[in-house]
Amino acid sequence: MQMMSVSSLNTKIKSLLEATFMHILVEGEVASATYHTSGHLYFTIKDDKSSIKCVMWRSSVARMKFRIEKGMRIVVEGSVSVYAPRGEYQIQAVKFEPYGQGALALAFEQLKEKLKAKGYFDAVRKKPIPKQIRKIALVTAKESAALHDMLKIIEKRWPLVEVIVVDTLVQGEHAARSIASALRYADTLGADVVIVGRGGGSTEDLWAFNEEPVADAIFVMQTPVVSAVGHEVDVLISDYVADLRAPTPSAAIEMVLPDRNELLFLLDERLERFIRTFDQHLMRKTQQLQHMEALLLQNAPTRKLQEIAQVFERIRQEYDRTMRYKLDQYTAQLLPLHNHLKQNMEMILRQKMQQAAHLEEKLKLSDPRLQCKEGWAQISKGGKPVSLHRIDPGEKFMLEDASVKIEAQCLSKKEI
């Protein structure tokens, strides 16, 4: 059995739980809920046997259409996260719904996984949206606000485009079949792009775009399809299958049609480029004319005089260079003589300094004051030098060195 540290165990638990429960739906009763000042939501859900903590970050809280309260039954969508330092786990929620809509969410996920496995969402099958749009088909309800908004933006951005409106139901029991039929018809109109969608609404209102007939119709279409359903926070099956997802119907028009103001700006830019090219061409011709004028001036009398003056200047410069060269040569010849003289003078000076030092040393040796060593003195009695053994006890005598004379008396005497 392998032994491990607490940190290692918590890390392994974290990896296992987060990998196993990456996307889950959990139903329960709200035991407590705290909307933090930071915008995050911290809450706990429970059933009759246990409870679990949950957290929802500010960005997800902002997308929720209602506030949860204690006692409310909800379905939480998210993943399990583990805080390894304390060995605690919680649900990191991205969405929640009142209880009763969990069946729709489960159906959504089941269909999503089924279509994903069939390749409906593969990026390689996505058709590009043409750059030049001449004809556009709008598959939506004929009297809807979404259609009104799209037509208004078309008129503002690019009124030259041909617009075909294909009327269809966008909510209700038969809406999915109606949308699928409208899409098949729109695919026969020769449009450059088809936009299918509607305005915002509840999950039930938008559910037709989450049904398999609509997904099948979009998948087999030859014309590029843009899905533009609801608001930006609404993500539907049609968004996954379509060649392009737009957050709103109005945004879909802005994404596929050029802006005439931008085109006018482009034309202005190209006009400026034409003027710049013309100016450059004119500049080249001016330079050619200036070059021809320069060639003409080369044969003028003033040009010849300038050439003669230049020749004279070159001769003068050559003369200066020659004179400097000669001076450098003479200087080079004098330098060895100067160095030799300097060496002889230095040698004689060293010799004289050595002689002076020698004489100074001899003078020091002849100085009487230096001939007596320290601690030694001359002994005299009666003005005559004598040795110590000739001095008797009680007699007086003189001690004298180079600088001091002392009168002394013998107190005792001992032969050694």
Which of 226, 260, 294 delimits the end of a domain? 260
Residues 255 and 138 in one domain: yes
Residues 252 and 138 in one domain: yes
Q: What is the mean pLDDT of residues 5-21?
A: 86
Q: Is residue 233 part of a domain?
A: yes
Pick the more confident residue, 227 or 292: 227
Among 251-255, 354-358, 364-368, 389-393, name the one with the lowest average pLDDT.
Answer: 364-368
In the chain, the number of structural domains is 3
The pLDDT value recorded for residue 74 is 87
Model confidence at 371: pLDDT above 90: no
Q: Is residue 363 part of a domain?
A: no
Pick the more confident residue, 409 or 249: 249
Model confidence at 94: pLDDT above 90: yes
Nearest to 214 by CA among 238, 231, 198, 196: 238
Q: What is the mean pLDDT of residues 54-69?
A: 85
Residue-number span of the structural domain to which 177 is assigned: 132-260
CA distances from 378 to 369, 394, 410, 411 (A): 12, 19, 15, 19
Residues 247 and 144 in one domain: yes
Residues 141 and 246 in one domain: yes
Residues 190 and 245 in one domain: yes
Among 23-27, 66-70, 254-258, 295-299, name the one with the lowest average pLDDT.
Answer: 295-299
Q: What percent of the chain has pLDDT above 90?
A: 42
Model confidence at 229: pLDDT above 70: yes
The pLDDT value recorded for residue 379 is 84
Residue 394 — left, alpha, or beta (φ > 0 → left; ψ -120 to 50 → alpha)? left
Pick the more confident residue, 181 or 204: 181
The pLDDT value recorded for residue 103 is 53
Model confidence at 369: pLDDT above 60: no
Residue 173's CATH number: 3.40.50.2300
Which of 100, 121, 147 delimits the end of a domain? 100
Q: Is residue 306 part of a domain?
A: no
Residues 152 and 222 in one domain: yes
CA-to-CA distance for 146 and 143, rounded, in angstroms? 9
Q: What is the mean pLDDT of residues 180-201?
A: 96
Q: Is residue 367 part of a domain?
A: no
Q: What is the mean pLDDT of residues 146-166?
A: 94
CA-to-CA distance for 159 and 106, rounded, in angstroms? 43
